[in-house]
Amino acid sequence: MPDEFSGKTALVTGASRGIGAATAVALARRGVARVLVHYNRHREGALETLEAVRAAGADGEVMGANLAALAGIEALLAQLPEIDILINNAGSLVRRARLLEFTSELYDEVMTLNVKSAWTITQAVAPAMIRKGSGVVVNLSSIAARNGGGPGATIYAAAKAAVMTITKGLAKELAPLGIRVNAVSPGTVDNDFHREFSTRQILDNAMAMTPAGRLGTNEDIADVIVFLCSEAARYLHGQTLEINGGMLAP
């Protein structure tokens, strides 16, 4: 259905690099009319994403906000037009910390960035979707939600499990109103996230445990997100698609 995204506006949070950037460009290539590229600190990367979005034929703009703080979430919401497609991609481990090192401030930062931002932004864009009787939300969970995460990543894993549960709850609430809510759960992706928080040995070990014989790419995840936004996924509600090369086969 080549025109299914015609006239649509998409917001991709955390789109200055990685999965978010790949998703923004993939949506533009599929015909989304306008792609809003959110970033926090990496404005240069967001501008590069915007350039690629425009080269793919879509309009767009960048929007800066720190989604690890409520004030930043509110600042983003103040800039938003009506949204047809919401990709709640922004998230981070922030830093690895074990139980006895973990501070209350770090707990709040991880939970706000990964959970509260997704919930609050969805809450803000939902009224327009409800009025139209259509809309798509795709949340980003993680394989960490299934296995508890690596060393020092327990609260990040818990946050991503919360995202998975929120996806199910919102799908039940919004499906009767014409809005589809789903999630993707990436395994180990060879990108900036893991270059920051993992060692080469960790990545090599993950690859050795992956039946597909390689780590994921940003594009592997982006293509599934675009599928979830499309009419091909019209009867999918409340699902979390595991994208991990067979590492986890529930």
- The sign one gets for the Cα dihedral 164, 181, 81, 31 is positive
Q: What is the largest CA-CA distance in the chain?
A: 53
CA distances from 136 to 54, 57, 210 (A): 22, 21, 31
- Verify whether residue 156 is a known catalytic residue: yes
Exactly one of 39, 107, 156, 235 is catalytic; which is it? 156
| Residue 12: strand, helix, or coil | strand
Integer Cα distance of 141 and 145 in angstroms: 7
Nearest 5°: CA angle at 96, between 194 and 76? Answer: 75
CA distances from 21 to 8, 58, 93, 141, 241 (A): 18, 14, 18, 17, 19
Name the nearest CA neighbour of 56 among 36, 17, 29: 29
Write out the catalytic residue numbers.
Answer: 156
